[in-house]
A and B are shown apart, each in its own frame.
Chain A
Amino acid sequence: MIRDMKKKMFKNFITFFKRDTFVIPLASIVLSLFIAALVILSIGKNPVIAYASLIKGSFGNVQAFITTMIKLTPLILTGLAVAFGFRAGLFNIGAEGQLSMGALAATMFGVYITSVPAIIAIPIAILGGMAAGGAWGAIAGYLKAKTGAHEVISTIMLNYIAALLANFMVNGPFQAVGTGIPKSPEITDAAKLPVMISVQASSLSIGIIISLIAAVIIYVIIQRTTVGYEIKAVGFNPYAAEYGGISIAKNIVLAMFISGALAGLAGTVEVLGLHHRFLGTLSAGKGFDGISIALIGQNNPIGVVFAALLIAALRTGSNQMQFAGIPKHIIIIVQGLVIFFIATERLVKTLILWKERKEEEVLQK
């Protein structure tokens, strides 16, 4: 049984690399990097040096590698969050706010639950963070299911509300006493995630392992469970699903809850594994990066892990590039281009598959 499953997973893994789902993102990335190279040329810099410093900055030494892994940890989770939403036919732009709410709740648990061992404190904080993120996501799901409010608008509004709520908390009732700085008190030592490796000021916690486990669990939920089947069915064709006895409303709320919980977990591992306190600016675009990651990873949990690695490396390496005189905004341009090309799948296909285009031309004649 387990061997069978392994075999099938391996087969899935291989076919994944052969399909459009792999070719399109890869071609989009290459195209985007090429265009960005032209932009770098246009400002009189050498794109080879730029990309070399990018790679050096993200994987060049142990510290760079650790920094990339630290950046990777929440990105896998926000990528999974958005991807899971997509599978249910929902565009969750709200990972940003859900991450923030998850982090806030996890910090509260971490600060106020004292005198318990780590084995209890950590799971409680994680569950609390996931529940808060999930609830924040479920608001949008509930509104969509009950009133038809589009989740794109409601999740974006919830992002702004979450950001303002976060600022209110760290400037007001949840500010570290006597600091006057917008940050919360520190969580207790028991709630901090164990550190695996630490070089100078950067230490990599076991958060990255939590992220990878989450990717596996989401893979299993999507591929192997009834819950995953129903959510996919609703995403694929809601009316057919309902005809088949699957509740649209229930699955929309559930999918948004799971999606939000993943984003909340991202915020939680940021607090428990890295900052050890809540900061108003904690999310800082990680939720939006989740959208790019889900699209590049084609909503496949395995794809998401690799896409997150790409974005994490770009973000880490861009600082090095900044030293070489290239504005790091080029990374956001690359990201935008990749998504644009993924949206215009057909354009990419015609660009890379000349053969197919010729066939089309023949057909049109």
Chain B
Amino acid sequence: MNWLIAISNILINPIFYKSMLNNATPLIFASLGGTYSETTGVVNIALEGIMLAGAFASVVFTYITGSPWIGVLMAMYVGGAMGMLHALASVKYKGDQIVSGTALILLSQGITGFLLQRIFGEPGSSELVKTLPTWNIEIFRRIPFIGSIIGNLSPLVYIAFICVILSHFLIFKTKLGLRMRAVGENPEAADTLGINVYNVRYFGVIMSGVLASLGGAFLSVGELGQFTENMSNGRGFIALAAMIFGNWKPFGAMWASLLFGMAESFSYQIQTQSILRLPPEIKYLFLMIPFVLTLVVVAGFVGKTRSPASDGIPYEKE
């Protein structure tokens, strides 16, 4: 009974939905990124590392320039550069994409940790910097209940949803999108038709870097106003699961990200319910929820979704 009360307390509280959106945002960016990359046939597990680099770059450049927007732009630039590196390894040199992704994650952890200590003088976390000011959207704010959820959020949250719509349009309604899908499904055939397989793949992987780094920037200058070591904390991998669960489609990735965001939000909110009188260590069990959910989703749905046919296979021109 107490559980029912606790759960309904959570469900009627707008904070639950607001934090769901905030938790989902980095996942939406990163899973969209994964969708771009894998649509063209390149697996990008480096998302985790790219998010971390994006989070770091945005804090550093906000710290230097005082403008979080410049921080976000530089994060996109750094993310694109990391995507470029991954593309270099996996498209040009036809290396193992998962190995290259692992290398980028390590590089990102090493370089952010190294520079963190050089720039801010201390390991662990950066100084506090300005966060992006939230946007007040009057039309949304007037709606009862919902207005208190979506009326006043970080601009990156709105941008994430706009990116979903734009990506859907780009991938399914434009010539470039058709080429991306062709290259991911059957690169030989695409090549025969005169499509430059390598360029399209470069585009997909670089876009994935740009988007994932936006997710990282949201974590630091969007929410916390600080960089802490390894702050991406597995979100890049959860985003990959969201991409799979979302059947390699932008809207699918968005819904899946919202689900994971909700699980995360729930795992925090349930701990605050004093009516349950939970011992403090129980929080560790609740924090498992998003990860267990990811595992269940990946195991339960992977057979029912379908990846691009040439996903993960380097293309060798004959």
Residues of A near any B CB (own CB < 8 A) = 39, 43, 91, 93, 143, 146-150, 152-154, 156-158, 160-161, 164-165, 167-168, 171-172, 288, 291-292, 295, 327, 329-340, 342-347
How many angstroms between the C-alpha atoms of A23 and B3 in the bound complex?
Answer: 61
Interface size on B, residues (CB 8 A): 49
- Report the nearest A residue to B300, measured CB to CB: A147
Task: Using known A-B contacts A168-B281, A327-B118, A332-B109, determine if residue A345 contacts B93 with beta carbons closer than 8 Å.
Answer: yes
- Interface members, chain B 207-222 (any A CB < 8 Å): none
The one of B123, B285, B302 that contacts A147, using a Cβ cutoff of 8 Å = B302
**A residues in contact with B300, CB < 8 Å:** 147
Q: Are B284 and A147 in contact (CB under 8 A)?
A: no
Most buried by A among B105, B281, B294: B281
**A residues in contact with B240, CB < 8 Å:** 153
A-B contact pairs, 30 of them (CB 8 A): A43-B118, A147-B303, A149-B295, A149-B299, A149-B302, A157-B294, A164-B285, A165-B285, A167-B284, A168-B281, A168-B282, A168-B285, A171-B280, A171-B281, A172-B282, A288-B106, A329-B114, A329-B117, A330-B114, A336-B103, A336-B105, A336-B109, A339-B99, A340-B89, A340-B100, A340-B107, A342-B99, A343-B89, A345-B95, A346-B93
Minimum CB–CB distance for B299 against chain A, Å: 4
Chain A interface, >50% SS class: helix
The one of A154, A172, A329, A344 that contacts B95, using a Cβ cutoff of 8 Å = A344
- Interface members, chain B 80-124 (any A CB < 8 Å): 85, 88-90, 93-96, 98-100, 102-111, 113-114, 117-118, 123
Q: Are B103 and A339 in contact (CB under 8 A)?
A: yes
- Report the nearest A residue to B286, measured CB to CB: A164
Chain B interface, >50% SS class: helix
**A residues in contact with B237, CB < 8 Å:** 153, 156-157
Minimum CB–CB distance for B86 against chain A, Å: 10
Q: Are A149 and B89 in contact (CB under 8 A)?
A: no
- Interface members, chain B 195-211 (any A CB < 8 Å): none
How many angstroms between the C-alpha atoms of A39 and B118 in the bound complex?
Answer: 12
Q: Are B117 and A327 in contact (CB under 8 A)?
A: yes
State the 3 A-B residue pairs at the shortest beta-carbon distance, nearest first: A332-B110, A336-B107, A336-B106
Task: Using known A-B contacts A147-B302, A171-B281, A343-B89, determine if residue A337 contacts B107 with beta carbons closer than 8 Å.
Answer: yes
Residues of B near any A CB (own CB < 8 A) = 45, 85, 88-90, 93-96, 98-100, 102-111, 113-114, 117-118, 123, 234, 237, 240-241, 244, 279-282, 284-285, 287-288, 291-292, 294-295, 298-300, 302-303
**A residues in contact with B98, CB < 8 Å:** 91, 152
- Report the nearest A residue to B88, measured CB to CB: A344
The one of A150, A164, A335 that contacts B106, using a Cβ cutoff of 8 Å = A335
Q: Are A330 and B100 in contact (CB under 8 A)?
A: no
Task: Using known A-B contacts A148-B303, A152-B98, A153-B241, determine if residue A329 contacts B110 with beta carbons closer than 8 Å.
Answer: yes
